[in-house]
Structure 1
């Protein structure tokens, strides 16, 4: 019997404008009333989640930064986190600089975002965000390293980065641009979700997962029931058992209504 819903956000639960549709809100509220555990599982950092916490439900848990952080919404605090060791992170930076010239870097830390001067952030920088050499901003609180290239194809950049540093860290790609998201070795959405599910006494056969991009692949493979969104990356469509309607059609909600007879 399904008792856990794990869903990606961008391109999956959220509409293209970043909002949560009314039909999706209603489905999430209905599941919360039934005591079904809904977990947002996203590459987003905690700082990009503020407007979405109201939709998590009374259980109030989310996995952010591709598995690097578990956030307790009710407490308003990071519950646990899995960092990239500093020496490994700095070694990865140097390997990628040498192997793919033109790569620039930023970090997501439990204490906030930071970047090197050459890294062009596509969103407004958080107030007071440190800017400096990676040797200064990469610290013991770093849960995700961001590597960006402004000239290469996104998937080609990811594949090349994986070849260079995939032996010491976990790399993935979930954006439309050439940005590789890097976590500690073995840290994925699925790995952290599995730990969280075990704490709740839930196994893979009790879980349904939804996603659309390569960083969702481990999570979809872990869950007993998996859905790719219509229009998802080809690798996701190939792996998932089922295909849900698109995110702008409240596709997750439509599937949940059927699975849970809402």
Structure 2
């Protein structure tokens, strides 16, 4: 029996242009009407979610920033945060600056985005952007440390970061560029989803999850039933129990309609 559905957004529930189809919205609404909890589990920070709430559900809970935040959508408030200890963040950055010269950093905090002067965002930053040395902008509200390199190949950079600081923090990636997303040790989509399920008395065997990128792997490994999208990274398809149609084909909606006989 499925009591909770956990789905990634980008590359999974959303089409490539970031939209949600009417069919997907209808299926999610029908699933929730059956008493099943739907949780959106994303690497996105809260600031990238505001335009999506009306499309993916303006109520309930969302796990954002790869497990760093549980967000109360209805209240528009952070319910819980799992920040990176300041001393660990600074130690991580110092190790990477020495081991992989050219690495620059930015932060996702519960109250907004901040970056070092040399960190080059790939999308326009918010108007209230904080810029400064990491020692000044890193505080106890930082739930994600972003490490970027402009010259290294993505997979080489991902491997380098993990090899040097994987014992201190949780590293993952969900982009095609040389960007590593760093969370506090033990913090992932999976571990935060597990805590949320414990609160609700939901067992892992009662959860079905969908994902497409390596930052979804721990979550897909933890749940009772896992689906990789047809467009997913090869490592995700290898691990998942099943493969769903692609995000462009409303794969999540297609699978849920079959599971719940909608």
Q: Same fold (TM over 0.5)?
A: yes
Match of 1:180, SS state, is: strand
Moved more, 49-58 or 129-138: 49-58
**Mapping 1:115-126, distance limit 5 Å:** 115-126=115-126
1:241 and 1:119 mapped to 2: Cα distance? 38
Which blocks of at least 5 consecutive residues in structure 2 are unaligned? none
CA distance, structure 2, for counterparts of residue 155 and residue 54 of structure 1: 35
Aligned residues: 262
| 1:21 equivalent in structure 2 | 21
CA distance in 2, matches of 1:59, 1:111: 21
Any conservation in 1 of the 2:66–2:183 contact (CA below 8 Å)?
A: yes
For each residue in 1:180-229, what CA deviation from the matched residue of structure 2 results, as whole angstroms up to 9, or x when unmatched?
A: 00000000000000000111111111000000111000000011000000
Superimposed CA distance per residue, residues 32-74 of structure 1 (whole angstroms, 9 cap, x where no aligned partner)? 2222100000000001001222244475100000000000011
Distance 2:97 2:58 in 1: 44
Q: How does 1:222-233 map to 2 (within 5 A)?
A: 222-233=222-233
Once the two structures are overlaid, the 10-residue window that deviates more, 194-203 or 50-59, is 50-59
Where does 1:1-262 land on structure 2 (aligned, <5 Å)? 1-57=1-57, 59-262=59-262
Tell whether the 8 Å contact from 2:231 to 2:247 is kept in structure 1 after alignment. no
Contact residue 145 and residue 183 of structure 2 kept, 8 A: yes
Please give the secondary structure, in 1, of the residue aligned with 2:131: coil
What is the rounded CA distance, in whole Å, between the counterparts of 1:103 and 1:194 in structure 2? Answer: 32
- Tell me how far apart the structure 1 counterparts of residues 248 and 227 of structure 2 sit (CA, whole Å): 15
Distance 1:193 1:54 in 2: 22
What TM-score comes out, normalization by structure 2 length?
Answer: 0.98
- CA distance 1:189–1:159, shift in 2 (3 Å): same
Taking structure 1 as the reference length, the TM-score comes to 0.98
SS of the residue corresponding to residue 236 of structure 1 reads helix
Q: In 1, distance between residues paired with 2:53 and 2:28?
A: 12
Gaps of 5+ in 1: none
